[in-house]
Amino acid sequence: MIRILKKLSLLLSKQQKKRIIVIVVLMLIGAVLETLSVSLVVPLMTALMQENFMETNEIVAGICDILGIETIKGFVLLAIGAMIAVFIVKDVFLFFEYYIQTRFTCNNRVATQRRLMEVYLNRPYEFFLNASSGEIMRVIKADTAGTFNLLNTTMSFFTEGIVAFALIIAIIIVDPVMALMIAALLLVVMIIVYKGVKPVLKREGQNYQYNNAVANQWILQSIEGVKEMKVANKERFFVEEYSGYASKAVNSEKIQNVLLSAPRLIIEAVVVSGMLGYIGIMVYQGNSISMLLPQISAFAVAAVRLLPSANRMSTSLNSITFLEPQLDKTIENLRVAKEYEKEDQTRKANRPVATENITLGKECGLYQITFAYPNVETNVLEGADMVIPVGKSVGIVGASGAGKTTAVDILLGLLEVKGGTVCSDNTDIRCNYDAWLKHLAYIPQMIYMLDGTIRENVAFGFHEDQIQDDQVWRALEEAQMGDFVRSLPEGIDTSIGERGVRLSGGQRQRIGIARALYTDPELLIFDEATSALDNETEAAIMESINSLHGKKTMIIIAHRLTTIEGCDMVYRVENGKIQKEKG
């Protein structure tokens, strides 16, 4: 448990730790009320069974003298009224405590998930070249949720521990021998159970993490590749692959749930048997039933509240073991997040400071660029140059894998180079990268479509209240998509379905072009934007692109020469160099 507390301290900020202290104070107050409410059962039961109870119990006699109570009936009514009042106050307070505790864990879980997502999305583009989307989803959603469930469980463990300790103290007052016996039995059984199931739960927790991530990956892959999957008639394959890993994850969860219920049954059997055995021994030794009323009352207290409290403590310990791998993964990712944030701050601090804003008035391009992908020794580009004059249409050709897209990704600022610079009007784009991005727009081969309306897809990344319909229509007109959208019953409010399944390939590409034109950029980059289309559709899309000739600076990557025949100049990427062929 100390190890878990240390890990949680790494997870929580100073402000969060202060709030935890407030919650602990509330837990202590709640424990006192819990103990008081249950402890009142002992004098009430004894008063009901012993007529001379007011005379034999000095504490009760003193209370009755102060309150002027003279009969056992009056004391019983007082005890019942006190129990009702205490239970009402306790339950109202506990509801407030649970609300505060739950709000704390839920709000901070969302805040952590937001931070992790923000850090992931702000990672360099190279990170996503080898990243697993299934694992990213698991880390943000499942691991973070599990981590804060663990935090909640840990707080519940200490809450129940405080209640159990207070109840044992209350039972000690009634019968020290029984109290110590109960405490010893609970402690021994909980330690044995915990030591026995801990390695199993830790192993299953790790298995759950791995199999859940892979199952997520198969869901994503089946959705993204649904068309190819159906044409190849491979639905069964994807279902089987998913269900295999999902079954393993569920099996780990099943083992966890079974092992979580086992301690309750063991604790209940051992402790109840021990207490009943103790009372049986006292009966065997000749003690009268009336003399055993305090012990029986203590047994009732233990059965009503102490045993459930012990059960919850044991369950919490086992849950913590199962969830610990998720806590470890969250801490690891937050540590990486902090390191990346420091690196990002260092990169920003080391960037040259521009004396003026990034402009695109004359030319932009790559100058003596040398680049290799992470963990690859061979350079894709070496001492490469490519100048893009403003207002020109520039084609880029080359064999597959030659580095066409790599060159464009470097121009976009997505890749960090080993040597050379990317400049716009002789200014390094890293001086003010955000300003550089405002000058350009990118149209990939496969347009990513939101599951929303045409308006939302054209105004990509803008909130609903920020979208300007006149700009949407202007962009659609420039992409030669206006007439088609007007023919739709709902116009720009037409839903296109997930991944744009209600549109043809050519229509999706035009939406992509309209999206690029929405912000009216000066530079458009087409990354093989027509290569997946048939000849007729490609010709229509190229007509849309060529209509922008002279109005925009354009870079067109293509593998077919017919695609770039209207370009003012052409570069060929080959053997790590970029050679000018035309213009």
Domain CATH code at residue 457? 3.40.50.300
Cα distances from 463 to residues 119, 458, 467, 485, 580, in angstroms, run 21, 12, 7, 21, 42
Task: Let me know: does 367 contact 427? Beta carbons within 8 Å.
Answer: no
* The pLDDT of residue 483: 86
The model's pTM: 0.64
Strand arrangement of the beta sheet that strand 553-557 belongs to:
440-443, 523-527, 553-557, 393-397, 569-574, 577-582
Confidence band for 366, pLDDT divided at 50, 70 and 90: very high
Strands (E), 392-443: 393-397, 419-424, 427-428, 440-443
Question: Of 335, 330, 332, 339, nearest to 151 (Cα)?
Answer: 330
Q: How many angstroms separate the CA atoms of 82 and 63, rounded? A: 13
pLDDT tens string 535-545: 667 677 777 77
Is residue 355 a part of any domain in this protein?
no
Is residue 111 a part of any domain in this protein?
yes
3-state secondary structure (DSSP) of residue 51: coil
Task: Let me know: does 358 contact 435? Beta carbons within 8 Å.
Answer: yes
pLDDT tens string 238-259: 788 888 888 888 888 788 777 7
| Strand 569-574 relative to strand 553-557, pairing | unpaired
CATH value at residue 293: 1.20.1560.10
Confidence band for 532, pLDDT divided at 50, 70 and 90: low
409 and 289 co-located in one domain: no
* The pLDDT of residue 389: 92
Sole residue written with tokens 């198969």: 218
State percent of the chain over pLDDT 70: 81
Q: How many angstroms separate the CA atoms of 111 and 120, rounded? A: 14
Confidence band for 370, pLDDT divided at 50, 70 and 90: very high
384 and 286 co-located in one domain: no
Segment 341-358 mean pLDDT: 65
250 and 391 co-located in one domain: no
DSSP sequence for 523-538:
EEEEESTTTTS-HHHH
Q: How many CA atoms lie within 13 A of 238 on its CB side?
A: 19
Neighbouring CB atoms inside 10 A of 72's CB total 18
35 and 162 co-located in one domain: yes
pLDDT tens string 263-318: 666 766 776 677 677 667 776 776 665 566 566 666 666 666 666 777 777 777 77
130 and 179 co-located in one domain: yes
Please give the tally of structural domains in the chain.
2
* The pLDDT of residue 5: 76
383 and 305 co-located in one domain: no
246 and 386 co-located in one domain: no
151 Cα distance to chain centroid? 15
Is residue 383 a part of any domain in this protein?
yes
pLDDT tens string 372-392: 888 788 888 989 999 999 988
Question: Of 445, 456, 447, 453, nearest to 530 (Cα)?
Answer: 445
Say if residue 198's pLDDT is above 80. no
Q: How many angstroms separate the CA atoms of 97 and 87, rounded? A: 15
Q: How many angstroms separate the CA atoms of 571 and 526, rounded? A: 14
Question: Of 289, 332, 353, nearest to 49 (Cα)?
Answer: 289
Is residue 325 a part of any domain in this protein?
yes
Higher pLDDT: 409 or 356? It is: 409
Is residue 138 a part of any domain in this protein?
yes
pLDDT tens string 410-433: 998 888 888 999 999 888 888 888
374 and 233 co-located in one domain: no
Is residue 340 a part of any domain in this protein?
no
Confidence band for 226, pLDDT divided at 50, 70 and 90: low
Is residue 170 a part of any domain in this protein?
yes
418 and 316 co-located in one domain: no
Task: Let me know: does 82 contact 47? Beta carbons within 8 Å.
Answer: no
Radius of gyration of the chain (CA): 35
Name the packing angle between helices 2-11 and 144-174 (round to 10°): 140
pLDDT tens string 497-531: 776 778 887 888 888 888 888 888 899 888 876 66
Is residue 347 a part of any domain in this protein?
no
Name the packing angle between helices 72-121 and 14-39 (round to 10°): 160
367 and 326 co-located in one domain: no
504 and 448 co-located in one domain: yes
Range of the domain at 278: 2-335
254 and 304 co-located in one domain: yes
